Structure 1
């Protein structure tokens, strides 16, 4: 299969709105997404982060820069506050070049975010 642009999804949660915890959880999520999918730095095109309105103490993109992603285009946005939706949540959509079929990508959900996608294998 020729190389294609694909989107890799992931999410995690925090217990508190704290820059250290947002950084820790963002880094853990990105590292797990990349490890499970064999993603190398050069495969990355861009990464979009969203946070729920209760996480405002730092940007997840700042956390991504701590692991060498400063040259990858990064964007943060806020999730829409849907009543009853998960709180304290960081979501990620990474765009990458890969030879893998869409069905071969392993999306990653950590912490309380595992309940967001119970249709996906662990």
Structure 2
């Protein structure tokens, strides 16, 4: 289930974000988390399975469009459809159907939409 980021999730969120290619450096991770905490157009969500945070998705709002900037799933939970479920849940949480991605995650985003259309 998708939940809004809280400061209590900071360490696990940074760990999950570190799987993103451009988020390897601790200083960069701290800057990214700070941006999600302070910028009203940036929204960070965690995916919880039972009580464990197993995924994270970060979005930047551009007018009425939600642009997915970050998406990561704990390696031990990959292949379970968590990434696809996070993307699908965004439209309800953000109340927009205009969801797109950055170039960095475009291939994954397209794959999720293809799977959605096949089901």
Q: Establish whether TM, by shorter chain, passes 0.5.
A: no
Relative contact order higher in (CA < 8 Å, ≥ 6 apart): 1
- TM-score under structure 2 length normalisation: 0.29
Instruction: Decide which structure has the larger Cα Rg and report it.
Output: 1
